[in-house]
Chains A and B, each alone.
Chain A
């Protein structure tokens, strides 16, 4: 899906013309108006992304190399985050797990968006009968908490990273479906859709060239917010032993590994836990900020 939005080609509504026009004034306003907390979050997020894309920048030890003689070492200069029950370097494992966790979050969000989008947009542009059928279906799915829905998917299709991504995606789809339906209904009622209709464009042309791009605009925010949630859910699945399999360095799995050693070696569980929290927090803070920006612009 396309996440790049060009205001010039995607009219938002009649007042779009009043939006700031030059790139320079936009950027400076963005810098001045951004709270320090968001900058910190953005910096941390950049660090996580770098760790995900190029873990070798940070890796000092092999995250999979066991060394039982040096198990349960507390954090020090050699092992920044200490070692785990198998003598593996916790820092290396947390860094190595960043890629998997972020990728899982992204993939799950993408799956959720595609599924939810298909349902929501179809409902929004369809007639009363199909719309209410889809709405009822989504409401039924809503009756299950998202994580439970994900667990049902796992129960049917087995454990593993790929299934976990699909499961979390399916679990989050009802939420996206409902938001995107509402969004679609607003767009469908907008004057430019009427204009397009009046110009005699075909229904599919209007759907793909007018409705979908405008519905997609707020998606960017949804995605940033959704990734945080998806990371937490995916970690939960791995924590339950249903996601990444050993010896994978996945945050949730590491947290599960360390939980029984909390009283003697807190660092085994604490650092993966901190990183899960960081990933969820930073994406959410940045996402919220973008959302406010967008609303202010509109």
Chain B
């Protein structure tokens, strides 16, 4: 869910894929999609591995929501409900969870779902070889699972973890066939097996994933609109990174739905009677630029604060996002539990304050090009960046931040590189700025993005600031150990305060699901509640209604 992880494809490959899509858009009539009952979904970001346990980026969770079920489910209000587990109990000390599993569910490879699957999956997520930054990251308190009988699994944790059930509800922690997990990782990445409404039949990396309906599906979550098999027989999940191409395909009728709806076309899509927009802010840590505190110049708090005060973000959100995203100024997205609005305007643009802070920090002089210098060193900020991994508007926004930071005397070097290169730099703290976000359904995101526990790489480094603060660590762990909402509210307020005071991130805007659907053909595309990902199980063809 952060963005800095190993991706095998380069910018070039992204463009090649886009070029292919462009070619496709050039030929064929408008009614190409849907004719043979194949629902075509165009996603904007490449999928590194179809198994969401590995690494853990949003596109993986997005597709996983359609072929994996989870142990428990979460509704829009945040309440936890049964799913593959029919029931569970938590010990008084919060360290032991006993799950009762359904006994009438099978994986699409024929393996029967038993308590053994809980053990195999959780063990797989915490296995260092899995390089599971997201799922494995969430399971740091995990000790082990004891399989009592076919339907009873007892999970032990090493500390109370109030957010445990919430993260279990995310597709990142979806339950896969234990038999399939035994295969080599590369194989499981191409053809993971779940109990979900669809199964994967073909995967062409950087191009498309083909899914067919699981005819025996009997384990729909409580939030679903129906039971039994899905309405649509086939799904083609097409990877189309180029924003304008993806939208063009939707307009031309070659795809039925898309995600990462390009901001520049939202107005046009709103006016189109054949297009339905499904927009929803996501909880978690907002889209941001995180400041690496482990090296100069951002090891100096005053310089970090000056940088934050130098950035004009609102103007960019109005101009290139056309107001389609909501500004975020604090460490939590506004839809996250225990979010406080008090930190939204702490670092509003303030050139005078930025100048004062930099003067005090010793960066008082400027060179010929207007950049600040200290002891002959220029105030340079290295920002490795993969343009292909971000929406077009994001690329423009970072250029604007570069320009406004220059006025304050920062030389921001946007260094374009492919995903693998940027990720490698990210794993070694070899950057000053990193573009990031973290979608999750709990305020515990603060622990993942800012606590010292997450400064090591597991495929990627969740805490890109490298910030280590025992006080903050303690508060965030205390918040997991209590059920008292008032106490948690207080602790998460303190945590937001510490993060804000230390100027660890330049928050930009709330992450949002931005899905567009051709509603002249299909209806009932909903977002699953845990991460607001597109959920195709209930989608129906308009003709058949």
Binding site for B on A (CB under 8 A): 64-66, 68-69, 71-72, 85-87, 151, 155, 158-159, 240-242, 245-247, 257, 259-264
Contacts and interface: CB of A to CB of B under 8 A. Distances in A.
9 contacts: A66-B399, A69-B315, A159-B416, A241-B388, A245-B414, A246-B395, A246-B399, A261-B392, A262-B244
B292 interface: no
Contact of A245 (B248, B316, B403, B415): B415
Interface string B224-243: 00000000000000000011
A69 B461 CA distance: 36
Contact of B265 (A69, A151, A240, A263): A263
Interface of B: 10-12, 15, 242-244, 248, 262, 264-265, 312, 315-316, 318-320, 387-388, 392-393, 395-396, 398-400, 402-404, 413-417
A193 to B, nearest CB: 46
Contact of B403 (A86, A155, A158): A86
Given A86-B403, A241-B387, A260-B392, A68 B416 contact: no
A85 B387 CA distance: 15
Contacts of A257: 395-396
B136 to A, nearest CB: 31
Given A159-B416, A242-B11, A245-B413, A68 B315 contact: yes
Contacts of A64: 403
B315 A85 contact: no
Contacts of B316: 68
Given A69-B315, A240-B12, A241-B11, A86 B399 contact: yes
Given A159-B416, A259-B244, A66 B400 contact: yes
B57 to A, nearest CB: 20
Given A151-B12, A247-B402, A263 B244 contact: yes
Closest 4 CB pairs of A and B: A68-B319, A68-B315, A260-B392, A71-B319
A259 B318 CA distance: 20
Given A66-B399, A68-B315, A260 B320 contact: no
B243 A246 contact: no
A85 B393 CA distance: 8
Contacts of B12: 151, 240, 242
A246 B414 contact: yes
Contacts, number: 80
B400 to A, nearest CB: 5
Nearest to A246: B414
Contact of B404 (A66, A158, A246, A263): A66
Contacts of B388: 241
A66 B416 CA distance: 20
A260 B396 CA distance: 11
Contacts of A65: 403
Given A240-B11, A263-B244, A87 B415 contact: no
B349 to A, nearest CB: 12
B400 A240 contact: no
Nearest to A256: B387
A260 B11 contact: no
Contact of B319 (A86, A155, A240, A262): A86
B402 A246 contact: yes
A260 B400 contact: no
A31 B406 CA distance: 51
Nearest to A160: B415
A263 B399 CA distance: 21
Contacts of A87: 319
B343 to A, nearest CB: 24
A260 B264 contact: yes
B413 A85 contact: no
Contacts of A86: 319-320, 396, 399-400, 403
B416 A260 contact: no
Given A87-B319, A246-B395, 6 more contacts: A68-B315, A69-B315, A69-B318, A151-B12, A246-B402, A246-B414
Contacts of A247: 399, 402-403, 414
Nearest to B251: A263
Contacts of B387: 241
Nearest to B247: A263
A224 B197 CA distance: 62
Contacts of B264: 260-261, 264
Contacts of A151: 12
B416 A246 contact: yes
Contacts of B417: 158-159
A216 to B, nearest CB: 36
A262 B392 CA distance: 12
B399 A260 contact: no
A260 B319 contact: no
B416 A245 contact: yes
A171 B477 CA distance: 56
Contacts of A155: 10
Contacts of A261: 244, 264, 392
Contacts of B416: 159, 241-242, 245-246
Contacts of B320: 68, 71, 85-86
A262 B402 CA distance: 24
Contacts of A85: 319-320, 392-393, 396
B527 to A, nearest CB: 25
Nearest to A66: B403
A260 B242 contact: yes
Nearest to A264: B264
A264 B319 CA distance: 13
Nearest to A239: B15
A261 B265 CA distance: 9
A246 B392 CA distance: 14
A261 B247 CA distance: 11
Contacts of B414: 245-247
Given A68-B400, A71-B319, A151-B12, A260 B413 contact: no
B301 to A, nearest CB: 28
Nearest to A244: B416
A110 to B, nearest CB: 25
A250 to B, nearest CB: 12
Contacts of A263: 244, 248, 265
A86 B392 CA distance: 12
A276 to B, nearest CB: 17
Contacts of A259: 242, 244
Contacts of A262: 244
Contact of A69 (B15, B319, B402, B415): B319
B442 to A, nearest CB: 34
Nearest to B22: A259
Nearest to A151: B12
Given A86-B399, A159-B416, A245-B413, A260 B315 contact: no
Nearest to B392: A260
B472 to A, nearest CB: 34
Nearest to B391: A260
